[in-house]
């Protein structure tokens, strides 16, 4: 008999690694698996681990996240983000294990006109309209969970940033040390999700035994240029940040012009603590060298 309470999949990523740290500090019996230790597409191995460990909760922080490459490697993206998530959901449902799964703002259209039409951001029940292969694969995972399970949390996040792993802010700080100037797009808008706040509010949802789909992101609205410029200023770096159009930074995939997730639904619940993106950024910067 195992005494594992929680299993974290994707323990090497910025979300999974901080989940592991948080639960260990709380004295919760947790076991983490990296993608090299456990291939999420291996459904037989997943079932073996669930039967051995007998967890009460599985946190799926693993994903195929190479947005550009997914256009070519769509089969892999669909296997990891779609089919494998469906099999995981089925296995959890069979054993009465709650599943927490992280999804993305990319499941929405992200069109420029939505900035004016939905200033508070996309609600959880806003029409879904993924615009690239990565987005479609993530939506597949959501649909499979809803089809297979009754006790689940699907948490959508946007512009995820934390102290571990790789993310936009850490990249900007690194480049800021290497270059006198940086060019950053200023016509893609959103509100970042900070890993520690995402975990804190996911725990709040678990504490009240919430089920269903929720958005966790910061308050306010910014763009990549302002986000980068503010981070460098907080670090007291002298790097010049130039605003540029998305057209000057060609991408093989269509990226959202608007990524803000509405948090009105989760704000109504007990124990939830959301913050303005500038506050989250200050806290993140204070943890980085």
User: Angle at which helices 168-178 and 277-287 pack, to 10 degrees?
Assistant: 60
Cα(28)–Cα(61) distance, integer angstroms: 18
The predicted structure's pLDDT at residue 253: 85
The predicted structure's pLDDT at residue 99: 98
169: its two tokens: 């802010």
β-pair type (189-190, 222-223): antiparallel
Cα(133)–Cα(124) distance, integer angstroms: 21
In this structure, the chain runs to a length of 289
The predicted structure's pLDDT at residue 182: 96
What residues of the chain score a pLDDT lower than 50? 1
Residues with catalytic roles = 134
The predicted structure's pLDDT at residue 231: 97
Contacts of 132 (CB under 8 A, 6+ apart): 67, 70, 71, 106, 253, 254, 255
The predicted structure's pLDDT at residue 2: 55
pTM to 2 decimal places: 0.95
Residue 183's CB: how many other CB atoms inside 10 A?
15
Cα(116)–Cα(225) distance, integer angstroms: 20
Please state, in angstroms and as integers, the Cα–Cα distance from residue 29 to each residue in 1, 16, 26, 53, 209, following that order. Answer: 13, 15, 9, 11, 19
Fold of 6-166+191-221+256-275: Rossmann fold (3.40.50)
Query: How crowded is the C-beta side of 15, counted as CA atoms within 13 Å?
Result: 26
């Amino acid at each position: 008999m195992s005494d594992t309470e929680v299993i974290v999949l994707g323990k090497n990523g910025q979300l999974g690694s901080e989940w592991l740290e948080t639960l260990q500090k709380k004295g919760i019996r947790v076991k983490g698996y990296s993608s090299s230790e456990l291939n999420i597409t291996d459904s037989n191995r997943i079932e073996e681990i669930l039967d051995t460990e007998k967890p009460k909760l599985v946190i799926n922080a693993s994903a195929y996240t190479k947005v550009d490459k997914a256009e070519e490697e769509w089969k892999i993206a669909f296997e990891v983000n779609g089919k494998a998530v469906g099999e995981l959901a089925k296995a959890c449902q069979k054993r009465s294990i709650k599943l927490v799964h992280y999804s993305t703002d990319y499941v929405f259209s992200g069109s420029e006109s939505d900035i004016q039409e939905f200033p508070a951001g996309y609600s959880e029940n806003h029409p879904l309209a993924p615009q690239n292969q990565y987005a479609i694969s993530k939506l597949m995972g959501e649909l499979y969970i809803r089809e297979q399970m009754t006790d689940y949390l699907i948490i959508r996040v946007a512009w995820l940033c934390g102290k571990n792993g790789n993310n936009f802010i850490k990249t900007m700080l690194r480049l800021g040390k290497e270059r006198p100037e940086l060019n950053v797009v200023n016509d893609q808008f959103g509100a970042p999700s900070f890993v520690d706040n995402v975990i804190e509010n996911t725990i709040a949802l678990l504490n009240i035994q919430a089920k269903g789909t929720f958005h966790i992101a910061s308050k306010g609205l910014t763009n990549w240029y302002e986000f980068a410029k503010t981070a460098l200023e907080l670090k007291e770096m002298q790097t010049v940040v130039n605003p540029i159009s998305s057209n000057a930074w060609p991408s093989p995939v269509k990226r959202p012009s608007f990524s803000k997730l509405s948090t009105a639904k989760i704000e109504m619940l007990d124990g939830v603590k959301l913050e303005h993106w500038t506050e989250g950024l200050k806290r993140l910067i204070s943890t980085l060298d």
